[in-house]
Homo-oligomer: A and B are copies of this chain.
Amino acid sequence: MNLKELAAHLNLSQTTVSRALNGFPEVSEATRKRVADAAEQHNYRPNTRAKALATGRAMAIGHVIPVSAQHEMVNPIFGDFIAGAGETYAKAGYDMVLSLVEDDKQEKAYRDMAAKRNVDGIILHAPRMADPRIDLLREIGLPFAVHGRASEVDGPYSWLDVNNKSAFQRATQFLLDLGHRRICLVNGLEYMDFAWRRRAGYLYALENHGIAADPSLMFAEEMTESYGYRTVMQTQALADPPTAYLVSSIIPAMGVRRAVEDSGRRMGREISVITHDDDLSYLRNSGEVPQFTATLSSVQDAGRQLAALLLDQILSVPNHMPTRLLEAQLTVGTSTGPAPAPASSSAPSSA
């Protein structure tokens, strides 16, 4: 059933039917009712493609998700983020179109999306430092919003980010307050902006405490479970092993826990662990007292909010670039405790 048929069926013009359904004022309540009933009865839905062509609005938002060719990895936090965003879109009547793209084909993917005109806006994922995609999207002229931020990119754009620096600074401070001095950073890839900011927070707290950073305690890799495991195994073999780990995601944190236990130590006793926790639905930091002490910030909620920010930008005045900075919550669990009595813990390794 299409508009023409519906109109014919009602002995009305397409114009009137269209207006009745879209809530224009110049149609009598009687006919509006009649039209609505008939549409309902025949399960009429306007053809999106025709509507999009006529209005110039696609009623869809694009997500370009980078897939690194080497790793073939899909970050599980995307799942939760997208669930949040999808919820917002659904409420606003928007669709979500996903494009999984290898790193080196990103530019083409964005240009294509814009030229093909099948989305009204784009969510930019996983921004890097000085990410060139931001300028690219500006040039293309499609509205966009960034999940995270890109340092060293000037000018306004719409974004939503967790205050990663402050979160990791506080977490480091927390460990320092417990007496830990050898704190290992198990970070994500540091060309990612979020990881870079976390590192900055970590370094800042150390510096404030007069502790020099030890490069042999700073790691940056793709955040897998086995990365967490390997890192602990490796660092516990050091002459002066860390007493605490600061981890970038609950996934490597699980590997960290496994390694701690495999090596006969206990979390919260010999070794303390703090992790960032995206509150992933299938990997909740559970327990009456949470398992991990964590910097908590729901990525699903971030999805909801960023989607709303983008829609806001699309629907409102042109040069409106809303941004939002979320503070992570430092929640105390069972994975942290005072630093063990210094067996041979001399002064920090190097001034």
**A interface list, Cβ under 8 A from B:** 43-50, 52-53, 58, 60, 65, 67, 71-76, 78-80, 82-83, 86-87, 90, 95-101, 111-112, 115-118, 222-226, 229, 251, 254, 257-258, 261, 280-284, 286-287, 291, 300
Decide: A60 and B257 in contact? CB cutoff 8 A. no
Closest to A112 in B: B45
Are B48 and A118 touching (Cβ within 8 A)? yes
Taking a contact as CB atoms under 8 Å apart, the answer to whether A74 and B83 are in contact is: yes
Pick the 8 closest A-B CB pairs, nearest first: A45-B115, A86-B100, A226-B286, A74-B83, A48-B118, A79-B79, A48-B116, A73-B281
The interface residues of chain B lying within 8 Å CB-to-CB of A254 are: 225, 254
Give A121 Cβ to nearest chain B Cβ, in Å: 15
Could you tell me the distance between the alpha carbons of A287 and B80 in the complex, rounded to whole angstroms? 28
From A48, A229, A280, A284, residue with most partner B Cβ within 10 Å: A48
Q: Would you call A99 and B96 a contact (CB within 8 A)?
A: yes
The minimal Cβ–Cβ distance linking A7 to chain B, given in whole angstroms, is 17
What's the Cα separation between A324 and B112 when bound, in Å? 33
Pairs A–B under 8 Å by Cβ, sample size 17 = A45-B116, A47-B53, A47-B116, A48-B116, A49-B58, A67-B83, A67-B87, A72-B83, A72-B281, A74-B79, A76-B280, A76-B283, A95-B97, A96-B99, A224-B283, A225-B284, A258-B291
Nearest B residue to A62 by beta-carbon distance?
Answer: B95
With A45-B116, A72-B83 given, can you name 11 additional A-B contacts, CB distance below 8 Å? A45-B115, A49-B117, A49-B118, A60-B118, A67-B87, A73-B281, A86-B98, A95-B99, A224-B281, A225-B282, A257-B258
Choose among B50, B71, B80 the residue that contacts A74 (Cβ–Cβ < 8 A): B80
Instruction: Say yes or no: B282 contacts A76, CB within 8 Å.
Output: yes
B111 engages A224 (CB within 8 Å) = no
Chain B residues contacting A75 (CB-CB under 8 Å) are 79, 282
What is the distance, in angstroms, from A74's C-beta to the closest C-beta of chain B?
4
Tell me whether A223 and B282 are in contact (CB under 8 A): yes
Of A49, A60, A254, A286, most B-chain CB atoms within 10 Å: A49
Taking CB atoms, residues of chain B closer than 8 Å to A44 are 115
Which residue in chain B gives the minimum CB-CB distance to A109?
B90
Q: Which of B52, B98, B229, B300 contacts A49 (CB 8 A)?
A: B52
Residues of B within 8 A of A67 (CB): 83, 86-87
Bound-complex Cα distance A148 to B350 (A): 58
In this complex, the member of A48, A76, A282, A287 whose beta carbon has the largest number of chain B beta carbons within 10 angstroms is: A282
**How distant is the Cα of A49 from the Cα of B284 in the complex, in angstroms?**
41
Q: Which residues in B have their C-beta under 8 angstroms from that of A45?
A: 111-112, 115-116
Distance A67 CA – B99 CA, assembled complex (angstroms): 21
B83 touches A100 (CB 8 A): yes
- Complex Cα distance A249/B280, Å? 16
A281-B71 CB under 8 A given contacts A43-B111, A90-B100, A117-B48: yes
Decide if A224 touches B284 in the complex (CB within 8 Å): yes
CB neighbours (8 Å) of A99 from chain B are: 86, 90, 95-96
A71–B80 Cα distance when bound, in Å, is: 12
